[in-house]
Structure 1
Amino acid sequence: MARRCSRATSRFTGNIETHLRKLETSAVLLCLCLLFPSPAEAGLYTASDQILVLTPENVDSVLINSTAAIVVEFYASWCGHCIAFSPVYKRLARDIKEWKPAVDLAAIDCAVEENRKVCTGFGIRGYPSIKFFNAYSKGDSTGQDIKGFPREVQGLRQRIIDKMETHEEPWPPACPPLEPTSQAEIDIFFETNSVEHLALIFEDSKSYIGREVTLDLLQYENVAVRRVQSTEEALVAKLGVTEFPSCYLYYPGGNFTRLKVQIEARAFYSYALQRLPGVVRSGRPRPVPSDLLTNNTEEPWRPFNSSRVYMADLESTLHYSLRMELAAHPVIKGEALTSLKSYVSVLVKYFPGRPMVMNLLKSVDSWLKGQTGAEVSYTVLREILDNSAQVPDTALPEGVRWVGCQGSKPHFRRYPCGVWTLFHVLTIQAKTSGGSEPQEVLGAMRGYVHNFFGCRPCAQHFDAMAQESLTQVNSLSTAALWLWSRHNRVNNRLAGALSEDPHFPKIQWPSPDLCPACHGVKKTGEHSWNLEQVLSFLLSYFSSNSLLTDYLQDESQVLAKQRERHETQQLALRRIERKAREALDSITQPPPSQPTQEEDEEEEEEEEGPEEEEEGAEGAAAAAEMGGKASEPAPWAKPEAEVGRGRRQAQRKPSIVGMRLRDVQEDIVDLDSFVNQHYKAKALRAAASSRVKRRSLQRKEEQEPGPVFGLGMELDVGLGMAGLQPVEPDLGLGMGQQRKRLQKRGLTGQYFGGSEEVEFSQQLYSHRGRWMSVLSIGFSKVDISLCVILYFLSCMCLLAMYLYFKNRLRLRRAKVALP
């Protein structure tokens, strides 16, 4: 035994670096197996329990020629003793998790029909049974029975150490020597090893602390652990050791110092040694403090107090939870909708947020409670989150600003850290604010993680923990402690995984440095938690009065940004609507090359502007002459806009089925109709000017009737129907009234030499010309003549074609001979 141990010591000290490098790949693969469980899982154990689940497909690859020793439990899922032992076996797996490169745990359910042949092959007759398989076991090996094994973690751990010490050759490459060291070996240790720290644990011969700490530091570089028995007098005298157990750090040149720990026990030794300067996990680069100040992340590094909680982390968690994770669910319904309502309700009750954040959470909670349907749309929910209604003093800052949860790289910590912190705060607030339901916060957390948390394996692991023991929570205090213990369990499972930040290793929290009173030791030397002190620490650490507000965005700035964003969105929305209207109008509007009706009207308004000003001036002068009625508007008076609009409608050019005729500055003059050889446009302007003058001098009871609507000059664009346009009111008057009006206008003597008969005949002819203009839809007589000729020619052409084809058919008719 001594000779074998000596060979093991010599071999390990000479090739430690080679063995560790060979095991880096296997350690990473083991971590990946823990993070991504196999679909084949045993009845009492899952991969999240850090126990290998054996099946007929993987049993040979796990047990045969393995570089690590394997401890296997053979059980039946229906066995009551197996069910009672399973929690102990799970705790053992968590306790010796750091031993995995040298020792690993496995289990197989013999009650499963497919596994029956495997269990029979290993000679299993009863349950539970535990076997120890050496490293590099052969294919015909059936393992070593561990008979009468204890049902508690410490006893099982020590039995495994005993098996490791009696391990046959070859020795597991990753396992350091477990036998006691001597003065001679210590004197030449640094000549054959390149580690920075050598830890010497002095203990009695019956103590297991030295061997346990040695295996606990198995996955760490730059530190080596050796056990020294109290009987090694020379070394004990050299270092002046008086207490057993005790730990000393030994350096080249014979320098040494005692390791300061709160209690001389395994857990405190392991924790202190793992945090020595330069000590890192195998395969990980050394964390350099200056790296945190470099631009490793998207934002500059924010110095923070690791013993406090920051509100910036909580608000960042809310933003990512409500705006990022929920956005992956366009429609939320069923169980997910119920979980969302419970989640928001708990936030409203217990989140210690700023007033504007609480106002937003209340509005979201009120909206969700008002939704009676089976589903909700996230798009509508997002409008509530963004406060689209612009409720005063209501906002949730956008973006993330991690402080206490920031990592050394963008993929470390952050949101998972924020989720744990958020729910710790909620459980403590429920405790301090006098909540009545112990599982209210935990139930909301479980529902949210199950339905919305993006990491699905993480959600499954958490749901498995909740299903296992959440029913045991019967008070608000136990709710806070349950969440704390499960958080530590997750830290234990993920310690050493690829997701662990080397600057912030996952430990059992709170550490002895942060809360010394939380830690204790049992009579057996095992570490224990003082739950009363732990609860007191949690109440203080996560209290709303202890939250730091550093790095928070100012409320006024947040609200101002929200208003600015809302105004920008509204402006963009109006721009889109305007473009949509323009696109719709372009379907019915004329081509851009032709002047539109609005442009024509604007040109007419510009031309008529001076005349309207003159008319207004003349009207004002006439009103001044009327005496007492000058201060009141005449009943017939219309706004200038209406007068101009009526005149534009009277002068509007005709259009045919969406096509506008060219603008005619002057109509073709008919010498028979207008002997005065004045153009129509000038006559119309002169008549309009005279009519306005006459109206301004007319009494209220002598007002001329409103415009009479007749067949207009413009065809409807869409339907091709003639519209109604106001025509000259002169057409509806009698002959005497027309003479009187013409006399008032002063046109008789000016244009027609004072002959009433000539005047009347010319007026009738003028009216007949207007009706002809209406019927011809604005065409001249030449245009009408051309249309008639073309129509006649087309008819003659069709008749000729008909006669031609009729003759051809007659010629082709077959001749029938008579008998």
Structure 2
Amino acid sequence: MAQRCGRATSRFAAQTRSRLRRSAASALCLCFYLLLPSAAEAGLYTASDQIQPLTPENAGALLVNSTAAIVVEFYASWCGHCVAFAPVYKELARDIKEWKPALDLAAIDCAAKDNRRFCSSYGITGYPSLKFFHAFSQASSTGRFIRGFHHDFSAIRQKLIDKLETHKDLWPPACPPLEPTSQAEVDRLFETNSVQHLALIFEKNTSYIGREVTLDLLQFENIAVRRVLSTEKDLVTLLGVTDFPSCYLYYPGGTFTRLQVNLEARTFYSSALQRLPGVVRSGKPPPVSLDVLANNTKEPWRPFNSSRVYMADLESALHYSLRVEVAAHPVIRKDALTSLKKYVAVLAKYFPGRPVVMNLLRSVDRWLQSQPGDEIQYEALEGILDNSAQTPNTALPEGETWVGCQGSQPHLRRYPCGVWTLFHVLTVVQSSSGGSTDPREVLGAMRGYVRSFFGCRHCAEHFENMARESMVGVRTAPAAAAWLWSRHNVVNNRLAGALSEDPNFPKIQWPSPEMCPSCHTVDANGDHKWNDKEVLRFLPSYFSASGILTDYLEDESKVLEKQRLKHAARKARDAPDPVAPTPSSVQGEEEDEEEELQDEEEEAGEGGADAGEMGAEPSEPTPWDQPAMDLDPGPGRGRGRGLRRPSIVGMRLRGVQEDIVDLDSFVNQLYNAKALRLAASSRVKQRSLQRKEEREPGPRLRLGMELDAGLGMVGLQPMEADYEPDAQKREAFAEELDPRGRWMSVLSIGFSRVDISLCVILYALSSMCLLAMYLFFKNRFRLRRKAVLP
């Protein structure tokens, strides 16, 4: 025995150093099996049950040369006894979840066609059958039957400990020693290990509490647990132990203290030891101190009372679910729309919110219920959530302010905690109101929302598995609150030790013994048992509407003011924004108006005569005062066009106007640059479409051949100052402006003379071709007619 104890102690030292590596490997393996579809998942067990699915394909990796002992249930999904045993096996998996590095559970459905031959190869002839596979089992090993198990998972747990102790030299490396210890071994442990705490559990020889607690603390560092029998007189006398079982914390130098618990039982020992200072889960970072959290400038820490619910958490959960998760679905249709309607209806009915929030929830509920079709656009729902109609005293605060659900890191707790808290409150309010005829009204709404909208799809699948398995048994509103509480603890058990667990807020079975001592008790076997009556008293006191704290909430008037400003900003943003005129264009327009007024005065003084006679000499233009071509339409479309002050000043473009172009002058200026230069220096009158007067031609212009992308036409460039056309060219341009030749200029819009010549030639050729075809078919018809007639 001494040799075995020494081997076990040294084994514990090696286990402390390699625990992080094994935990990571186990987590990776577990994720791999959970993600793959399996026969077990198609049978009596799902990925939510923490039971590994066994198949012929993964048997080698799971059973052969494994560092942990494996227990396998061989069952048939059609077997009634297997169906009855499944809840017991699931409860066993949850109960020994912390033992996984040393002992794990698996299951295989032998009724599946692909598994029948595999089950036969292991000698399975009846169902259900349990087999124990030692660590480092060989490929030829068929395991050992576990006989005489009943529907009592505590009895099965003790049988597994007995099987685990039958390991000889090939002890599971992650498993600590389970044999009783002595005074000499305790002293040696402190010399070879640097553990911070040593827990000694004193018990009788027939007790399993010491070994169970040792395995419960398997995944935690800075603590070691040893079993001391009542016959070990040295330690019993040294510590003055009189009660069996009892737990003492032993430290170097012989100092010790008794662990204070409500009941001397396994669950209370394990829970208290896991919360000792410095005790952390293997591979997890240590808890963040409150001083560090309080001094964090990026995410200020909000002190809170852990025994109360905060309205800030509930409103933050509402904001995220309605404005973020539901918003991920641009179109909400069919089952998702039904789920959303039920979810909002439950909120409008049972949410114990502030008046402005309740008004908003009721308006959203009325709008959803009034939608006739089987789909809606989220954009329309968003308008109701943001109160676009500006209904008085109606708003849902935007943003998140986590208080009781805040985590030590930005990615921990928060919204998942808020969703659980929200639905706990709704079930309790429904239970206390007594006005609902459907006890599963809130649970059904939660199930539909999680299935359709909850962002974590694996979480949604796990919740659906739990709901499908047991929600149908809920018959009363208080039972609905109790069902949600029990399922929340199942989720806590499954996620304990996961990457999503906050080290400052470990996943425990809630409420803790410190929070509700009367909620915990033990059964005849010494196992933990919930006091259901006390739990049903505790839930309404914790989640009641009257006990919700309003700390850290933004004032309602500020919420309404923010909503009003947001609505005003949105209206201003959505309103059409007219193009503001540039300073140069405004200046040009003002100067145009002044010139028009002067022209009107001259017209009135000369009895309506045209003011722009050809005899007037234009003034010399300056670089910043160059006239531009007037493209504005006017009543006198048949008359010549005048010249206006330039719309391009200092190379700044003027906004495009809806102009009707005078084709005569524009075409000549666009495609007859040389003739335009002649016209600019001549005395020929040009027409204006805006007023019936003749005005002096402005400075001479020529047309650049590059296109102006902003205006969509040829850009204007000033003429050279030393250019002077001769009389012959001026007369040619005057003839071109003669009305008799104007039809040619109309036909030549956008074409050069070569283009027009080609068009005429092609037209002549096509006409000749058509004439030839006509003569050919006429002649042929005549010949055929002669051939037919006698």
What range describes the TM-score normalised by the shorter chain of this pair? 0.7 to 0.9
Letter in 2 for 1:422: L
Structure 1 position 69 matched with structure 2 position 65: no
Q: How does 1:630-709 map to 2 (within 5 A)?
A: 656=637, 661-662=642-643
TM-aligned CA distance change 1:529 to 1:785, over 3 Å: same
TM-aligned CA distance change 1:146 to 1:376, over 3 Å: same
1:512-563 Cα shifts (integer Å, max 9, x gaps): 0000010011121111101111111110000111101011011111111111
Name the structure 2 match of 1:106.
106
- Out of 332-341 and 284-293, give the one that drifted further: 284-293
How far 1:13 moved relative to its partner? 3.9
How far 1:787 moved relative to its partner? 2.2
Q: For 2:70 and 2:311, how far apart are their aligned partners in 1?
A: 46
Q: For 2:332 and 2:496, how far apart are their aligned partners in 1?
A: 35
Q: For 1:605 and 1:397, how far apart are their aligned partners in 2?
A: 59
Letter in 2 for 1:791: G
Asked whether the 8 Å contact 2:199–2:223 carries over to 1, the reply is yes
1:458-517 Cα shifts (integer Å, max 9, x gaps): 000000100001110000010000000000000000000011001100000000000001
TM-aligned CA distance change 1:779 to 1:38, over 3 Å: same
Q: For 2:510 and 2:30, how far apart are their aligned partners in 1?
A: 21
1:409-440 Cα shifts (integer Å, max 9, x gaps): 11100000000000000000101112321000
Name the structure 2 match of 1:413.
413
Asked whether the 8 Å contact 1:5–1:177 carries over to 2, the reply is no
Q: For 2:33 and 2:550, how far apart are their aligned partners in 1?
A: 37
- Equivalenced residue count is 653
Q: For 1:551 and 1:800, how far apart are their aligned partners in 2?
A: 85
- Corresponding residue SS for 1:346: helix
TM-aligned CA distance change 1:604 to 1:659, over 3 Å: closer
Structure 1 position 311 matched with structure 2 position 292: no
Letter in 2 for 1:537: F
Name the structure 2 match of 1:29.
28
Structure 1 position 435 matched with structure 2 position 416: no
TM-aligned CA distance change 1:370 to 1:20, over 3 Å: same
Name the structure 1 match of 2:327.
327
TM-aligned CA distance change 1:778 to 1:279, over 3 Å: same
Structure 1 position 6 matched with structure 2 position 1: no
Asked whether the 8 Å contact 1:74–1:109 carries over to 2, the reply is yes
1:335-383 Cα shifts (integer Å, max 9, x gaps): 0000000000000000000011011111111111111012100001101
1:639-665 Cα shifts (integer Å, max 9, x gaps): xxxxxxxxxxxx99656599952259x
How far 1:4 moved relative to its partner? 6.4
Q: For 2:150 and 2:345, how far apart are their aligned partners in 1?
A: 47
TM-aligned CA distance change 1:219 to 1:659, over 3 Å: farther
Asked whether the 8 Å contact 1:658–1:718 carries over to 2, the reply is no
TM-aligned CA distance change 1:413 to 1:790, over 3 Å: same
TM-score w.r.t. the length of structure 1 is 0.74
Name the structure 2 match of 1:484.
485
Letter in 2 for 1:232: E
Name the structure 2 match of 1:475.
476
Letter in 2 for 1:662: L
Structure 1 position 573 matched with structure 2 position 571: no
Asked whether the 8 Å contact 2:73–2:129 carries over to 1, the reply is yes
Structure 1 position 243 matched with structure 2 position 186: no
Q: How does 1:375-386 map to 2 (within 5 A)?
A: 375-386=375-386
1:141-184 Cα shifts (integer Å, max 9, x gaps): 00011112222110000000000111232100010110101111
How far 1:188 moved relative to its partner? 2.2
Q: For 2:380 and 2:540, how far apart are their aligned partners in 1?
A: 37
Q: For 2:422 and 2:80, how far apart are their aligned partners in 1?
A: 39
Asked whether the 8 Å contact 1:657–1:720 carries over to 2, the reply is no
- Corresponding residue SS for 1:394: coil
Q: For 1:377 and 1:794, how far apart are their aligned partners in 2?
A: 59
Asked whether the 8 Å contact 2:198–2:224 carries over to 1, the reply is yes
TM-aligned CA distance change 1:800 to 1:280, over 3 Å: closer
TM-aligned CA distance change 1:433 to 1:605, over 3 Å: farther
Asked whether the 8 Å contact 2:360–2:385 carries over to 1, the reply is yes
Name the structure 2 match of 1:538.
539
Q: How does 1:323-722 map to 2 (within 5 A)?
A: 323-436=323-436, 437-574=438-575, 576-579=576-579, 600-601=592-593, 604=596, 656=637, 661-662=642-643, 717=660
TM-aligned CA distance change 1:292 to 1:57, over 3 Å: farther
Asked whether the 8 Å contact 2:47–2:462 carries over to 1, the reply is no
TM-aligned CA distance change 1:415 to 1:329, over 3 Å: same
Asked whether the 8 Å contact 2:38–2:53 carries over to 1, the reply is no
How far 1:116 moved relative to its partner? 1.2
Q: How does 1:156-195 map to 2 (within 5 A)?
A: 156-195=156-195
- Corresponding residue SS for 1:188: helix
How far 1:274 moved relative to its partner? 0.3
Asked whether the 8 Å contact 1:292–1:301 carries over to 2, the reply is no
Q: For 1:800 and 1:607, how far apart are their aligned partners in 2?
A: 43
Asked whether the 8 Å contact 1:488–1:509 carries over to 2, the reply is yes
Letter in 1 for 2:87: P
TM-aligned CA distance change 1:5 to 1:793, over 3 Å: closer
TM-aligned CA distance change 1:657 to 1:369, over 3 Å: farther
1:761-798 Cα shifts (integer Å, max 9, x gaps): xxxxxxxxxxx999x97679x99865228729979x99
Greater per-residue helix proportion = 1
Structure 1 position 126 matched with structure 2 position 126: yes
How far 1:720 moved relative to its partner? 9.0
Q: Which protein is bigger by CA-based radius of gyration?
A: 1
- Corresponding residue SS for 2:31: helix
- Corresponding residue SS for 1:578: coil
Structure 2: gaps (5+ residues): 605-631, 646-657, 665-686, 696-730, 746-752, 765-790
1:302-336 Cα shifts (integer Å, max 9, x gaps): 11111111000000000000000011100001000
Q: For 2:271 and 2:417, how far apart are their aligned partners in 1?
A: 22
Q: For 1:495 and 1:431, how far apart are their aligned partners in 2?
A: 30
TM-score w.r.t. the length of structure 2 is 0.77
TM-aligned CA distance change 1:778 to 1:289, over 3 Å: same
TM-aligned CA distance change 1:652 to 1:315, over 3 Å: closer
Letter in 2 for 1:103: L
Letter in 1 for 2:444: G
- Corresponding residue SS for 1:180: coil
Q: For 1:43 and 1:658, how far apart are their aligned partners in 2?
A: 93
Asked whether the 8 Å contact 1:262–1:516 carries over to 2, the reply is yes
Name the structure 2 match of 1:731.
none
Name the structure 1 match of 2:722.
none
RMSD: 3.5
TM-aligned CA distance change 1:463 to 1:163, over 3 Å: same
Q: For 1:529 and 1:658, how far apart are their aligned partners in 2?
A: 102
- Corresponding residue SS for 1:60: helix
Identity of aligned residues (%): 61
Name the structure 2 match of 1:16.
15
- Corresponding residue SS for 1:376: strand
Asked whether the 8 Å contact 1:337–1:375 carries over to 2, the reply is yes
Q: How does 1:244-263 map to 2 (within 5 A)?
A: 244-263=244-263
Name the structure 1 match of 2:677.
none
Q: For 2:662 and 2:73, how far apart are their aligned partners in 1?
A: 90
Q: How does 1:761-780 map to 2 (within 5 A)?
A: none
Q: For 2:661 and 2:466, how far apart are their aligned partners in 1?
A: 72
